[in-house]
A and B are shown apart, each in its own frame.
Chain A
């Protein structure tokens, strides 16, 4: 059965790629954009842009309204409850750095900061560096063969010294959903704050942050079919109130003197300087688009496509899949073949996949892998993409044999 994405034509880049013989299977790195977003960006600049939350004039009023409407849409999309719980950042990485600085005052020497062994550098290095700044201990939760955080080990390792628990919702290398429902209460019992890196998870299915029950949730616009340069930080009110300001400048300040200043609370106190205005408005357009889709159908399509990808790889004897991917992506290697060679030959054939350590060097070392090829899917991919990928894969493996 050949799967056809009914949403493919909503994304102009897919036709453009096809015209230049490129097959895009790297959506976990960044996603293509729907036409409605491109139109929104175009409209933003062609009808006139103005800075937000500053001037009284009509263009400023229009910009500010569209900007704040996007905040509301984001709050609705992830079930934040209130737009005041949404902070716009320049990316998911910046949102995690914001947390690592904003929560620094809560960390004392000897405290534990807990992350998992599968974290992307963005959800590892800010905590590693925070631990170093505060002489705290960075605790790494091990993962099992399926690519999930080992809950028995976590029960032992999360304790009274734990101040923060930061884990991914969906691994960008292993494609495994993490057992948040079991993990988060372990941290909560000990009064630790919980941070979820939703950069990958937020793109697959629709998630309610209040149901997840985390203190903070971070996601990336550009992976969610939105513009790049925009990240989102959600926090529960009590959690947001614990943040100390970290970047200083225009608009985040309530009153300033030469030698002292008072700052706004969230969200505005954490949006120093001119935000990515058009990017946020564009994200609003993407969220309108996504909200109009039948998410059950989208998820079903993505799951079927993922199953087809898995089956095709498993059918090839020399392929070794990394862990047990559940959705969105598959990382793999071919026996006796360097991933860089395979990647080179796939690139030659117009297959856009990612190769290397996927911004998770410690995880790859932990798995004993020098690297891997990662195929990742978006809602616009369909069987034709996978067929081209498999044809190219067979050709490449034949050449390298």
Chain B
């Protein structure tokens, strides 16, 4: 265990190794690690930003969806209203047409009734004259009594 020049040899190799390590080993390794760290932090920042953007986009989508739904509801409501209106109009038209037809029919009936009455009246007058002639046998002067007979017929 004597102390000898091995000590110096070790000291010299130590110095050389440390110098080599300091010059060629340490700097590239730490530089690469630092760079990676920067890259990582950049990546994380990007990720955070992307997340924020995503959240924003989701919010936008929800907003748009809500407006679209609202618009759709409005359109449906309008359509319903319009449909009801159309139905109402049609109903009213139908009622009007029906009433008109009914009125026409009633008028027609009245007319026919009147005509029938007229016919009956004239026939009754004829029958009355015929009856009276038969009763009086002979002398009912057609000319003298026609005025009275007409009056009678009009009263019937």
A-B interaction: no
